[in-house]
Amino acid sequence: MSDFAATPELVLLPAVDVADGKAVRLTQGAAGSETSYGDPVDAAVEWARQGAEWVHLVDLDAAFGRGSNAGVLRRVIKQIKGVQVELSGGIRDDASLDAALESGASRINLGTAALENPEWAADVIARYGEVVAVGLDVRGTTLAARGWTRDGGDLWTVLDRLEDAGCSRYVVTDVTKDGTLKGPNLDLLREMAARTPKPIVASGGISSLDDIAALRELVPVGVEGAIVGKALYAGAFTLAEALDVARG
């Protein structure tokens, strides 16, 4: 136990995914698999109350290219001052980038744009550095794009390109695990960590406090944080309990 206590802390990012103005969770990223959990502001305020230092905020409608929840996202960010926000979903061009940067978020995630428009993404990474993370959504070693509806190329080829561009951080999601409560893909995370010195935020599959403990054990090799979604909404554990394990 003392070895575990000496492990550096894992940063937890409770997720607030927004579709049609509501907080929702998907299963394996599929449009139409939404389960609604009410007002996103209430969800984010609750995570802040339980001690969150970060919130992972996603505009699913923007990610799927079917609309925008920009006003709701700004309201969420305003209501949880003091909590850092990682903003994701539909940031694909200068207009959406500027809106995301002006929203008050601490960090933004590029997803599809990093796969479909690599020159633009490389320019954004060069200009904004630590403010920009790239989301790599993976099935096996194939990347998923456009709200996970399209093939986005080979993970390792894209990773090499992003490393050359100077990407500062990766948010890695195993699409097959996301929203399933079947545990994170530790092997994928270990392999990612072996191929990049940059910090990795893990996403998808966390179902128990044991999963959080397993991810914390990967902190020394480069897994900096973990996004927790469905398990919190389903009541598998509280955020306060999860933070106890993550921080030790």
Tokens of 18: 């927004």
Rounded to an integer, what distance in angstroms lies between the CA atom of residue 211 and that of residue 183?
6
* Distances from the Cα of 247 to the Cα of 7, 200, 219, 221, 225, angstroms: 9, 17, 11, 17, 11
From the candidates 3, 39, 61, 137, which is the catalytic residue?
137
Distance, CA of 107 to chain centre: 11
- Identify the DSSP state of 137: E
Between strands 170-174 and 200-203, the pairing is: parallel
The question of whether 17 is a catalytic residue gets the answer yes
Rounded to an integer, what distance in angstroms lies between the CA atom of residue 248 and that of residue 54?
17
Tokens of 51: 């001690």
Rounded to an integer, what distance in angstroms lies between the CA atom of residue 43 and that of residue 123?
34
Measured in degrees and rounded to the nearest 5, phi and psi for residue 176 equal -70, -20
Rounded to an integer, what distance in angstroms lies between the CA atom of residue 41 and that of residue 148?
26
* Distances from the Cα of 107 to the Cα of 15, 97, 241, angstroms: 14, 11, 25
Q: How many residues does the chain have?
A: 248
Distance, CA of 62 to chain centre: 15
104 touches 82 (CB < 8 A) = no
Catalytic residues: 17, 137
